[in-house]
Chains A and B, each alone.
Chain A
């Protein structure tokens, strides 16, 4: 068996799932909406993170919040673990049921409940797929901006649970910035509604922001109200090549301080550029670094923004600048950036995908350290990311089948993350904690981790909700 990142759950005494449990759950969701078949359970034993396989005892596909509530109430009574799951496309093992138990899949709760066009809001079920939502919203010229790389498959529930984001975060922010109201099933099965349709509020603790990014450890989200943005009329894009990473990040820093509001500032290093060029003939120039900038707005605002940003790039030594003349050229420029991840995946048997965020003034240092650390461990790293918000993906090339290489890659990744935290950054910008980044929680959060654990214990005293994620409860 290939070496995998080990799942070492602490000894947790949960009830043993039995046939009576299946019968009771069948009464709640119906016989067509659950499975204990091997071919089903195996798929829920993993997600997009290379962990060990841990099958749940059962998977259920509820059709409404009431069914979710009854399932969780039952699990609470029987002390069975419950793991909520959207698309299972998470990169940190967020949805792997490491204590087995019940997986609650939201693939049947995937509808838009209401579009509040005048308020620019939408009410959705958690299983709605991101791209499908935006496709439906486009009729109203509205969109939900976070745009993660997995937009074609990820669900809104998964995005909220992970506080996901993507290339537009530098202008539009992250999922958390858009969640106004939630319907949540608590660990005892109680359904609560928190938040409101108001854009601002100074009333009480902000439970919405607490549940967002909690990865199903505090409650299970069954309905989401999102605020939306107007689809911009114009998008202007350019790429600039630089002779060094530091020149690129200096330009990024100045663009951000200049008062401009880029909709994307995407960075690719030389290793990534080379991989893209090897995989597809997209004509990227063989330079140490590349920056893609995009501005949204009306024609004038977008054009002026882009021109000003390119002027800053020139000032910092950009050696070649290409501004897209039309939408066809714009898509071509984006093809280079969007080709980065597939090109790297194809270039190596396996890859550890980093997700650090550092203050933008420290990007150069974080990347330089990533190069130095990986060199020391004898592994290759390719960095790209959302430099406008300091989110860099140092991707380490490795191979599961080569135990030594895999372990060196894991260690290099640990050091890169630790260094980012030392720079005032975080272990993950958009992929979440899950299993993989649990190891960094203490380092990043210090004694505030104890407060987090207290919150967890308060809301889920018997630790049945996605146990073993974030941290272990003593």
Chain B
């Protein structure tokens, strides 16, 4: 194909995102918010957020000779890890991470999935692999702690042998939940658990259930698959759409009947609330208004007098305001909830560099560490460190060697709600 046809094909697959690319005024404000645009190697402008958008503009305006299907271009696009911090910095409000997902989609459509590493393919359907890991737990956990296995795994999947990965649990949240007697709350709520709280840390799912029951809800857990953030990030939009379709089909009847859908993971909240609709298909917006984050729901219940904090001693905490919580503007909500729980907070705005699973790839590990090191300068080790994101917690614990808790754990402690075994 001649260069012009190549560009036309790329732009065709890139779709309506071209309108957003055209709106970029190249002010570069996004660079100030973008974690990877502020690492040492980002002195090259091609490795910055604005650089990536300018390259897309060059394709659209037929300037220069950039091959949109070159690995060099793809490597630069892959420096965006969808933290979404750039969107609030952008005067035009351009959803830059979504442009990158669509650019990867166009790239994959032309080059095929064989260009993805095994690690990308595993993460893109992490629900299935989490299920597998849980089935073979604790053996799978034992394997993942063997250095030799991790080195082999790094070779095969590109997942860095040093990256901290979550454990698997033989008893999943789902299997535990099925054994529970039906609670008799005076109001009903749907819980979208997502994969992590199901397979990797069922205690989160259990504690969420307990908190919801404590404030008077009967909890419904419909069939569901993982929310699918990695597939969206990698540009595997057709695969992501299948996950979204499944979850949408399960959740829509509840939304239509006035049920609210609560999520304990910021990534799930983000996708169900807006991500599916803005990135994949507008029809997914039909459930958006029903989706609520756990922190928001608990604050609401606290304001209605349904949640009381019995432990009164003030406790100093550091709240890491993770990227997706920021995208959802959850910070002030969590902050109010922690205030109500008697926590004296310091907010840490810096990104941890984990970015879901981006930081676990060997190609990204050093950069991820550099970003985490900036966060480390803000962390006071003698205070409880909190974050809402499961993967931020893994990243911070792995790189900073400090324990991290979820706000919901502290909320439960302060309300003296015990985790069910």
Contacts and interface: CB of A to CB of B under 8 A. Distances in A.
B32 A152 contact: yes
Interface stretch (B43-51, B176-184, B249-257): B43-51
Interface in A392-428: 400-401
B342 interface: no
Contact of B29 (A1, A152, A400): A152
B222 to A, nearest CB: 35
Interface stretch (B62-70, B229-237, B363-371): B62-70
B297 interface: no
A40 B43 contact: no
Interface centre among B45, B54, B66, B91 (most CB of A within 10 A): B45
A53 B61 contact: yes
A107 interface: yes
B26 A46 contact: yes
A61 B43 contact: yes
Contacts of A44: 45
A53 B64 contact: yes
Interface string A120-153: 0000000001010000000000000000001011
Nearest to A61: B43
A1 B65 contact: no
Given A87-B28, A150-B29, A38 B64 contact: yes
A342 B43 contact: no
A38 B43 CA distance: 16
A88 interface: yes
Contacts of A107: 42-45
Contact of B54 (A42, A346, A401): A42
A9 interface: no
B29 to A, nearest CB: 6
Contact of A40 (B28, B44, B62, B63): B44
Contacts of A55: 64
A323 B261 CA distance: 42
Interface residues of A, number: 39
B132 interface: no
Nearest to B59: A42
B72 interface: yes
The secondary structure that dominates the A interface is loop
Contacts of A342: 91-93
A43 interface: yes
Interface range, B side? 20 to 34
A245 interface: no
B27 interface: yes
Given A153-B28, A342-B93, A45 B51 contact: no
A41 B51 CA distance: 10
B62 A37 contact: no
A118 B363 CA distance: 46
A2 B25 CA distance: 14
A43 B45 contact: yes
A108 B32 contact: no
Given A35-B44, A39-B66, A53-B58, A152 B89 contact: yes
Contacts of B44: 35, 40, 61, 107
B63 A88 contact: no
Contacts of B25: 48, 50, 345, 350-351
Given A48-B25, A55-B64, A150-B27, A39 B55 contact: yes
A131 B32 contact: yes
B143 interface: no
B31 interface: yes
B310 to A, nearest CB: 31
B63 A45 contact: yes
B113 interface: no
A341 B91 contact: yes
Interface string A21-53: 000000000000001011111111111101001
Interface in B246-303: none
Interface in B61-105: 61-66, 72-73, 76, 89, 91-93
A351 B61 CA distance: 18
B148 interface: no
B311 interface: no
B26 to A, nearest CB: 5
B88 to A, nearest CB: 10
B116 interface: no
B247 to A, nearest CB: 31
Given A1-B61, A35-B44, A346-B92, A42 B27 contact: no
A58 B118 CA distance: 37
B381 interface: no
Contacts of A35: 44
B22 interface: yes
B23 interface: yes
B61 A48 contact: no
Contacts of B23: 349
A43 B46 contact: yes
Interface in A329-352: 341-342, 345-346, 349-351
Nearest to B31: A153
Contacts of A108: 43
B29 A38 contact: no
Nearest to B73: A39
A152 B32 CA distance: 6
A380 B46 CA distance: 35
A44 B46 CA distance: 9
A357 to B, nearest CB: 21
Nearest to B51: A43
A105 interface: yes
Interface in A57-73: 61
B32 A46 contact: no
A45 B27 contact: no
B129 to A, nearest CB: 34
25 contacts: A1-B63, A37-B46, A38-B64, A38-B65, A39-B55, A39-B66, A39-B72, A39-B73, A42-B58, A42-B64, A43-B50, A47-B26, A48-B25, A48-B28, A53-B64, A87-B31, A89-B28, A105-B43, A153-B28, A153-B29, A342-B92, A345-B25, A349-B22, A350-B25, A400-B22
Given A42-B54, A48-B26, 6 more contacts: A45-B63, A46-B57, A87-B28, A89-B26, A150-B28, A153-B32
